[in-house]
Amino acid sequence: MLPTMKMITPKNLRSMIELNRILKNVRTFKPTNSRYYHITNSLKFKDVNEEDQKKSVALFDAAHIYHKKTKEAYLDVLRTYTSEQDRKIGHVRFIYAALRYMKEFGVEEDLEAYKALLDTLPKGRYVAKSLFMAEMSHYPREQQCIIDLLQQMEDNGVVPDPEMELMVINIFGQYGFPLRKLRSMAYWQGKFKNINPWPIPRPLPSSTLEIAKIAIQKIASVDVTSVITVFNTEDIKDSIDKTWIVSASSPDQEHLIASHPTDVPAYVEGPNRIWVGKISVDYFILYTEPTKRPPEEDIDNDDVSNMDISLWRRAKKKLVHRRSIHEQDKMTIFGVCATGTSTKDSLLSWIRCLQIRNPALEKIPILFKFRSQEELQRIASGIEKETKKIEG
């Protein structure tokens, strides 16, 4: 039986006409011709040579010529770009170029710089006028560009604020894909922002001494009684390297040094590597061989006769010393430090500084075990491969 044809009512006809009009307005992606971004009428950048004017990043090259690579210079480039007359196309290329230069200007972790870069897009032009246009990714190239901008923010730990959300709404509307990405970032980054048990200041201090303090404090946090001490090698007689030493030790470690046999050597090993944000710090440890633990009895806990009941309590053979957190299975750690030069002379000065509060170190033989940079690189590459395997 043939299917019956439905009658086209005026209401259905209007719907079909409206759908046809929407489909005609949907823009398809077309690659634009290469354009160059340089200023011809700006007094500040008029002296850029012809070779630089042929580059798509001539504005940033000019900022490098006339300014230092600072945040203010980066924002000045964005203001110069937006002040151009009749700027209607080329926003995507400029934003991608600006994203590449962020690290060079030191603004990759600055929210104000991302907001200023987002503000270079025109408002209202890319707003989808219907849900159908929104789901078809209205202006796909521009939307993907802002999604990449937000992804770079997420990679650098920058959390968007409500003002940035309003800016994205004004550019792409309520149903754009960049707004979904931004709201997802605001939700999850808000949860994970303060989850790090060793928070670091933002921005990180420029002083290497302050960064070393943060790193040693992170290592020494395993023992709440640890004390961070900063020594100056200039106070040590016959020291060659004039630098600083950040040392961490606890009362338990001082007790372990005092009770250590004088015929058993201790070792200074390093450099080991710890990360504070994106900056690595080399540190050294003072340790000795682990103490021998008494053999454990092979007791079947499933046997009812071995139940620890007061009437059947087994005779105690001897008392076992309770190990501290510093007495590990592979080593007993006496202390940890980071120096400004990471040289053998600075480590000798560290041992002499520890001898003031631990006179027993004067009688304990101390050996130095240094790791080469090649070994550190092999360790780092091995950790990276294992991380990729876990993520895969």
> Does 23 score more than 70 pLDDT?
no
Answer whether residue 115 shows pLDDT above 50. Answer: yes
pLDDT of the residue at 136: 85
Going from the C-alpha of 125 to that of each of 62, 147, 183, the distances in angstroms are 30, 17, 21
pLDDT at 17 over 70: no
Distances from the Cα of 300 to the Cα of 144, 281, 375, 387, angstroms: 63, 48, 45, 39
Mean residue pLDDT across the chain: 78
18 confidence band (pLDDT: 50, 70, 90): low
pLDDT of residue 90 exceeding 50, the answer is yes
Measure Cα distances from 196 to 192, 199, 228, 276, 335 in Å. Answer: 8, 6, 21, 12, 24
Write down the pLDDT at residue 11. Answer: 53
Q: Is the pLDDT of residue 124 over 60?
A: yes
Q: Do residues 272 and 369 make contact, with C-beta atoms less than 8 angstroms apart?
A: no
pLDDT of residue 31: 38
Mean pLDDT to the nearest integer, 205-209: 90
- On the question of pLDDT at 327 being above 80, the answer is yes
> Do the bridges between strand 332-339 and strand 366-370 make them parallel or antiparallel, or are there none, so unpaired?
unpaired
Across 37-46, 109-118, 218-227, least confident range: 37-46
| pLDDT score, position 317 | 63
The rounded distance, in Å, linking the Cα atoms of 29 and 236 is 70
Flag whether pLDDT at 284 surpasses 90.
yes
pLDDT in tens, 209-255: 999 999 999 999 999 999 999 999 888 887 888 899 999 999 999 99
Q: Which of 83-97, 137-151, 181-195, 374-388 has the lowest mean pLDDT?
A: 374-388
- pTM for the model: 0.65
Question: Could you read off the pLDDT of 150-204 as tens digits, one per residue?
Answer: 999 999 889 999 999 999 999 998 999 999 999 999 999 988 888 888 888 877 8
pLDDT confidence of residue 294: 67
pLDDT on residue 382: 47
Question: Can you give the pLDDT at residue 275?
Answer: 92
Q: Residue 20's pLDDT is what?
A: 57
The pLDDT value given to residue 184: 94
In this model, does residue 274 exceed pLDDT 90?
Answer: yes
Mean pLDDT of the 378-390 span: 47
How many CB atoms sit inside 10 A of residue 319's CB? 7
Ordered strands of the 266-276 beta sheet = 227-232, 244-249, 332-339, 279-288, 266-276, 366-370
Q: Which of 213, 271, 272 is nearest to 245 (CA)?
A: 213
pLDDT at 66: 60
Percent of the chain residues past pLDDT 90, beyond the cut: 39
